[in-house]
Amino acid sequence: MKRSDIKVLVITGDGINCEEETALAFREHGVVARIIHIYDLIHTPSLLEEAHIFAMPGGFSFGDEIGSGQILALKLKYSLGSELKKFIDSGKLIIGICNGFQALVRLGLLPKPFTTREMTLTHNRQGHFINRWVDLSVPNSKCVWTKKIVNQTIALPIRHGEGKIVFAGDLKTQAITYEILINNQQIALTYVDDVNGSYQRIAGVCDPSGRIFGLMPHPEAAISEWLNPSGAKKSDAVGIGASFFESGIEYCENNF
């Protein structure tokens, strides 16, 4: 598939506030990225079928009432559940960033689609919102979104109050769940330091296929080096965040 034929659907509405940056991050790589309000998508579900990538940006959807990403997840589940399953079964890609990641988890699409929920995101260990750049490790994983930066240490911004990943069950059950993710190569991103109390410093995970990816850091806010406080102040210097979007788009080029 030609890059110019790849279609990305970026949702917005009701507290989502990173849709413009997310759409720009895709458009910078020559694809068509369309921002669609969640209610327009619910009323016209064929918009999802036409897309190759479904992007759920960061923000505070529905004010994070009853839990971050919870109401957004419920709306998608009960209004577009069958369409999302068809989208996933057809081999297309999904990325959820920050609040979008929280919604993917609460939808039951991560760490494994359409199974009992084993993971959630809760309040940071510090009990308050964190807004800063952090160092991250990119392990070898099945994630198609990180293929260009595997085994690198990178820096991205985080902006969240509920980014602490926890697993269900007692300590033994949690350890087993983590081992399964490790063995399946589903841990796609980890913090170098213990930033928020997340289990084993996990910052991002993918599903077993590698096509559904959720992460708490914001790659769309790091597509140019001049956005990085310690980066090169050149407007034409590409930032490390661009690699995530390039990897996803390249997958579409080779598989559709």
Once rounded to an integer, what is the mean pLDDT over residues 27-38? 97
218 is catalytic: yes
Query: Per CATH, is 3-255 categorized as 3.40.50.880?
Result: yes
Distance CA 241, CA 244 (A): 6
Instruction: Answer positive or negative: Cα dihedral of 1, 96, 195, 117.
Output: negative
pLDDT at 213: 99
Selecting among 18, 19, 52, 98, the annotated active-site residue is 98
Once rounded to an integer, what is the mean pLDDT over residues 212-220? 98
Structural domain spans, the chain:
3-255
Once rounded to an integer, what is the mean pLDDT over residues 48-59? 95
Identify the three-state secondary structure at position 159. Answer: strand
pLDDT at 232: 61
- Per residue in 127-178, pLDDT tens? 898 999 999 999 999 999 999 999 999 999 999 989 999 999 999 999 999 9
- Per residue in 102-128, pLDDT tens? 999 999 999 999 887 899 999 999 989
pLDDT at 227: 84
Selecting among 220, 225, 246, 252, the annotated active-site residue is 220
Query: What pTM value is reported for the model?
Result: 0.94
Once rounded to an integer, what is the mean pLDDT over residues 186-197? 98
pLDDT at 222: 95
Selecting among 218, 225, 246, 252, the annotated active-site residue is 218
Q: Give every CB contact of residue 166 below 8 A, 6+ residues apart in sequence.
A: 119, 120, 121, 122, 174, 198, 199
Report whether pLDDT(66) > 60.
no
- Per residue in 218-247, pLDDT tens? 999 999 988 888 766 666 688 999 999 999
Distance CA 159, CA 170 (A): 29
Identify the three-state secondary structure at position 223. Answer: coil
Name which of 203, 190, 207, 138 is nearest 164 in CA terms. Answer: 203
Give the burial class of 66: count Cβ atoms within 10 A of its Cβ; 0-12 exposed, 13-18 middle, 19 or more buried. exposed
The residue length of the chain stands at: 256
Report whether pLDDT(65) > 60.
no
Q: Convert 147-182 to b/e letters by CB count within 10 Å (16 or more is b).
A: bbbeeeebbbbbbbbbbbbebeeeeeebeebbeebe
pLDDT at 63: 52
Q: How high does pLDDT run on average in the chain?
A: 92
Whether a cis peptide bond, with omega within 30° of 0, leads into 111 is yes
Distance CA 100, CA 213 (A): 10
